[in-house]
Amino acid sequence: MPENFYFTRPQDNIAPISVVSSGVAINPGYPLACAVDMSYANLAKPSKLLGTSGDWIGDLGLIRRVDGAVIWHNFDEGLAVHFQMHSSNSWGGTPTIDVPLVIPERRVDGYTQKIFVDLRGEPGYNLTGLRWWRVNVAGVNSAPVGLKIMLLSRIRQLERDFLLEPGPVNVENQFNVLMTTDAGHPWAYDLTSAPRQLRGDAVLLESDWVQVRDWFRAAAGQVGIFAVLPNPDNTDAWITRFSTGSIAQDPGIQVVSMGNAKKENGLNVSIILDEITAGDPEWF
């Protein structure tokens, strides 16, 4: 049985404070700053190199705790890529943390899978943290490489889980345009958008409910963007926000009364999360 799902608050992503550099040429239309920019204006815009290999180097300014990362990329399956952290901007020797990434195959609809990197069990990790990070693409990709990255100062879990049997509802979507010509012939094309949705129910302890409530508050409802890992047995990371579906009426977190809502078995809570990146990008 997998561990309870991992989640983060928007403020746990400290990547945006990084000053990003690289040792190779950058595509001017996709600048370095886009690698850490998760604002809605630039969410779908990566940092992109001119070559099919190279690196991104980030300076956090100070030593900072980093428990994990989410790598959003256009890398080929099996490409040689490392996520590294170090005390200085010196990469010729052995970095303090050096994690070889396993780049998974694409989904059958062609989308790449984001990669969740848990640093907490890696050699060199400590709670104090490090200042410098690097994503190094040593192999040769089939297209110029593109990247967005989240650096997580904390990875959170509940004592009880939304993802226990029967598990969350994982809703798959494929958005298309469907039309009919004047002659009555059907016509359709793919909008290349396939966002997923997670719906979970759980009976939570009071302490877990406080965590979920504060998570929702920290995200300002449906505004904040954050990472989740539904199943810690794999690395398939989701970049999500609280759903727009029922949030307006019930701010996205529904506490269902059970008598006085504080029976011994806890609080009945439901959440709905929307993947806002649609399984993208295709940065070719």
Over the stretch 149-165, which tens digit does the pLDDT of each residue have? 999 999 999 988 875 33
Tell me which residue of 169, 274, 195, 231 sits closest to 2, measured CA to CA. 231
Tell me which residue of 243, 245, 239 sits closest to 225, measured CA to CA. 239
Q: Which residue has the higher pLDDT, 241 or 64?
A: 64
pLDDT band at 188 (very low <50, low <70, confident <90, very high): low
Neighbours of 179 (CB within 10 A): 10
Tell me which residue of 147, 146, 116, 151 sits closest to 132, measured CA to CA. 151
SS (H, E, C) 94-156: CCCEEEEECCCCCCCCCCCCCEEEECCCCCCCCCCCEEEEEEEECCCCCCCCEEEEEEECCCE
pLDDT average, residue stretch 97-113: 89
Distance CA 11, CA 172 (A): 28
- Residue % of the chain over a pLDDT of 90: 54
Read off the pTM. Answer: 0.83
The CATH code that applies to domain 6-152 is 2.60.120.260
What are the structural domain ranges in the chain?
6-152, 169-275
pLDDT (0 to 100) of residue 78? 96
pLDDT digit string, tens, across residues 230-283? 989 999 999 999 985 332 223 344 444 444 444 445 677 778 888 887 645 455
Distance CA 110, CA 107 (A): 5
pLDDT at 191 over 60: no
pLDDT band at 193 (very low <50, low <70, confident <90, very high): low
